[in-house]
Amino acid sequence: MPVSPDRPSARLAREGALRVADRGTRSARQRVARLRRRGPNIVQCGLAGAAAWGIAHHLLGHPTPFFAPVAAVVALGASYQGRLRRTGEVVVGVAVGIGVGDLVAQQIGVGVWQLAVVVSLSMALAVLLDAGQLLVTQAGVQAGIVTSLAAPVSAGVDRWVDALVGGSVALVVAALLPTAPLLRPRRLAAGVLDELAELVGEAAAAARDADGGRAEAALERARRSQVAQDDLRAAAVEALAAVRLSPFRRRHRPGLEAVSELAVPLDRAVRNVRVLVRRVAVAEHRDEVLPAELAGVLEDLATSSRLLGEAVLAGRRDEDLQLELAELGRRAGAVGERHLGLSAAVCVGQVRSTVVDLLQVGGWDQEVALRHVPAVGPPPA
């Protein structure tokens, strides 16, 4: 018998299908975004691999320089951080593996047990050199290749030269890297501020309309906001590593360091807003009355956060906005001077703390920010 569309089972099936479709859409967007972020590095790896093979084959005359592109791609890796170290480990690991493999294979020959001995000895020597995991792995791989192919010593030297060519090409490509990775931290910082503005705006609407469902939805969204903070920190570390590697991008370093320093007050601001949103949700759940002035303060805080995001993205300091934020902290303090319930008092405290954090994002140091938004009493004239 066909199931009536009005039956609970049919409704649950439709809702389940919609949830699956929504998860699939979000997953596809995340994969595309991940590809977009890593696209420049993928192109770099492709170009470096081709260049390394061309140099080793056409200029050095190596018939099949398979390790030149391998070394270039491994040295570039998935990130800019640690490229110099990875390049050194690849080259030294190849030298250790080939050296041990050639010497030992000439004494004991080649075969199954000889392969086990040579690979173990090479990796053990790399560990004794206090090497990283990549160097240890490369030593074992190259020793295995030497033993398996029973290649002549000259071939081993060629492979080491190929590794050196690949590593050198990787460093040159990294030095000429595009500016996209350098711009990403600032964009992410602005994105965090935009998300913070959205959360505060939702909290304002929930407080104004006494909408518990909207407050709960905002709280769920706030709980997912930590991912953007983690992305910002990782992008800042990545960009600084790229600048250190490229002599042509040193002028970007002060700006990147400034953006990197925003991560701490931004993290505090997001955490404060998360508590704020949770308290609005608690207030609606308990039918606590929030003062009407609080919703207005929250709406202005959302607007100021959005404007601050635009300033961060443009790399400028907006003193007028700083003063408006300080005034917003004063207004929140005025609301707090009234006799408030627990949830309202917590919300006022979180607004003032968030303002202090945003003032630091805007360029004031902590002492100045706290002086303009004191815990008690009016701000300085």
Summarised one tens digit per residue, pLDDT across range 189-223 is 899 999 999 999 999 998 888 888 888 888 888 88
Residue 324 has pLDDT above 70, yes or no: yes
pLDDT score for 381 = 43
What integer is the mean pLDDT of 246-258? 72
Q: Which residue has the tokens 């030149």?
A: 68
pLDDT score for 355 = 95
Q: Among 330, 298, 275, which residue's Cα sits nearest to residue 209?
A: 298
Q: Is 121 strand, coil or helix?
A: helix
Residue 5 has pLDDT above 60, yes or no: no
Rounded Cα distance, 280 and 200, in Å: 10
pLDDT score for 320 = 92
Can you list the alpha helix ranges (DSSP code H) found in the chain? 8-54, 67-76, 83-108, 112-128, 133-149, 153-175, 180-209, 212-223, 226-245, 253-261, 263-285, 292-314, 319-336, 342-361, 366-372
Lowest mean pLDDT among 10-19, 40-49, 261-270, 360-369: 10-19
pLDDT-derived band of residue 84, with 50, 70 and 90 as boundaries? low
pLDDT-derived band of residue 18, with 50, 70 and 90 as boundaries? low
Q: Which residue has the tokens 């590697």?
A: 245
Rounded Cα distance, 260 and 296, in Å: 32
pLDDT score for 177 = 65
Rounded Cα distance, 135 and 156, in Å: 17
Rounded Cα distance, 164 and 182, in Å: 28
pLDDT-derived band of residue 377, with 50, 70 and 90 as boundaries? very low
pTM of the model: 0.61
Token couple for 373? 């938004």
Token couple for 78? 């998935």
Q: What percent of the chain has pLDDT over 90?
A: 21
Lowest mean pLDDT among 33-42, 278-287, 365-374: 33-42
pLDDT score for 94 = 77
pLDDT score for 179 = 56
Residues in the chain: 381
pLDDT score for 1 = 44
> Cβ of 157: how many Cβ atoms within 10 Å?
14
CB-CB contact of 348 with 263 (8 Å): no
Lowest mean pLDDT among 58-72, 83-97, 319-333, 360-374: 83-97
Rounded Cα distance, 361 and 189, in Å: 10
CB-CB contact of 369 with 359 (8 Å): yes
Rounded Cα distance, 37 and 33, in Å: 6
pLDDT-derived band of residue 378, with 50, 70 and 90 as boundaries? very low
What integer is the mean pLDDT of 338-360? 88
